A and B are shown apart, each in its own frame.
Chain A
Amino acid sequence: MALSAAQRGFDDAVRESQRTFRLVLDAMAHAGRILRSDATLAPPPPLLSTSASIILALADFETAIWLDEPAADCPAVADFLRFHTGARLVRACRDADFAIIAAPARMPPLASFAQGTPEYPDRSTTLIVQVEALAGVGWQFRGPGIQDSAHFSATPMPLDFPQQLLENRARFPRGVDLVFATSTEIAALPRSARITAGPACTSR
């Protein structure tokens, strides 16, 4: 397969994988904290450099990736992911280890992804959600990784997303973990995060 310059992977896979992993680990360990990414990949659109780095760092032939419609509609995205990770692309989101969401406002409900089992809650989907903006305001969270409380919001997201987060937490230890990415930043909401307040929560 011929790949254009725009479809190059990591220049230094060992180093860049480690650095990307540490960024995601840092994000997952500090729920709702917005971190700057120095990802330099130029993946085919609609993939962002940030989310492409995450998937290249973490996915391989042992993992399955699901793409939402806008990402799946672009064959170059599937080629890029297969070539650089060797991962399987799956059609059903409940079979996915990783899901890439390019159009979050109309993403499937969190409950439709793999939730793990009561004995093995780790057998669940990690969602990589590409958004336009992350902000340290809006919804309020408590829980592991948060000293007191943290404010965080991502846009655009489904209107009922806060309610979905409540339900995701209610399924704990089953549930999904989310990594949000803009073109320059990432943040994570592990399933342990408890949403305690927020615009769409209080208006309900």
Chain B
Amino acid sequence: MSDAAHYNFAYLDEQTKRMIRRALLKAVAIPGYQVPFASREMPMPYGWGTGGVQVTASVLGPDDILKVIDQGADDTTNAVSIRKFFERTAGIATTTHTRDATVIQTRHRIPEAPLKEGQILVYQVPIPEPLRFLEPRETETRRQHALEDYGLMHVKLYEDIARHGHIATTYAYPVKVDDRYIMDPSPTPKFDNPKMDMCPALQLFGAGREKRIYALPPYTKVVSLDFEDHPFERTKFDRGCELCGAEGIYLDEVVTDDRGGCMYVCSDTDYCEGRRAAPHAAAPPIREARR
């Protein structure tokens, strides 16, 4: 008996999928609001994105093409094992190409290639509550969201400026959704925040341990919180990718040897490979790693 016959399609039972699907529809109708759901045990540890996996399992159909990335890369252990999980339990096609994917599950990055209408981006979220580090009590954060009482969050960001001269938060930088809910964009770098604004793709967020689902419909206004005298600034890199020459994209520092050598390369491996494979890419020749 094959694994696909052994499990229900995409592992989850139909009753669980229905419950998650109902939560997803509410999440889409109330952009940025965290819908509680009854998260299930998955055959992987919580740190492995069980919330995202449950959302993906509830959305996937046999005709979908799935891409899974972790920090922008398709080939990390986490990304490979989630991709294999869905190949095994749903028998679906997978890809590493952003443009070919209908569903993209991600941890920590939004692809560099612009997303299209009809695509679904599923985020794995560890801590969904943007106010949690200011207020540990769930009843209190619920109340603050209900009353749109976001003063504390603004004070925190302003203190950041007072202390550091700028807003030091570079990951999970809070956003306001359609002028209403403050939302945690998950631990994506703030470099990616502007990509969420008016994105043509549907963005779904799943937090397994915290049992929350939230969403950004396509073409939703998403604004990074800031102040008139201290506007939001996207992280800038003062160099290009040393493999493909791309500029204005998110770079990772990669250690190349055990003598302190390193290089800066695209965090999005599919984007980098695509540029290098393109016949007319304006990319510099690949150089040897520095010694």
Please give the residue numbers on chain A whose beta carbons come within 8 Å of chain B beta carbons, in ascending order. 13-15, 17-19, 21-22, 24-25, 28-31, 57-60, 62-63, 97, 117-122, 124, 126, 143-147, 172-173, 177, 190-192
Contacts and interface: CB of A to CB of B under 8 A. Distances in A.
B170 to A, nearest CB: 27
A25 B25 CA distance: 6
Contacts of A57: 18, 21
B5 interface: no
Contacts of B22: 58, 63, 97
Given A126-B25, A173-B33, A191-B29, A18 B142 contact: no
B33 A15 contact: no
Contacts of B18: 17, 57-60
Given A58-B18, A144-B220, A190 B28 contact: yes
Most chain B CB within a 10 A radius of its CB, from A97, A173, A191: A173
Contacts of A119: 142-143, 145-146
A62 B198 CA distance: 35
B223 to A, nearest CB: 13
B33 A29 contact: no
Contact of B31 (A25, A122, A192): A192
A143 B179 CA distance: 11
A59 B19 CA distance: 9
Q: Which 10 A-B pairs have the closest CB atoms?
A: A190-B29, A118-B146, A122-B26, A145-B217, A144-B220, A144-B217, A119-B142, A177-B29, A18-B61, A147-B219
Interface stretch (B7-15, B80-88, B248-256, B257-265): B7-15
B15 A60 contact: yes
Interface in B46-98: 58-62
A144 B21 contact: no
B17 interface: yes
A62 B200 CA distance: 33
A144 B19 contact: no
29 contacts: A13-B14, A18-B61, A21-B21, A25-B21, A25-B202, A28-B25, A57-B18, A60-B15, A62-B15, A118-B146, A119-B143, A119-B146, A120-B36, A120-B142, A121-B30, A122-B23, A122-B27, A122-B35, A124-B26, A143-B178, A144-B216, A144-B217, A144-B219, A144-B220, A145-B219, A172-B30, A172-B180, A173-B30, A190-B217
B143 A173 contact: no
A66 to B, nearest CB: 16
A191 B15 CA distance: 26
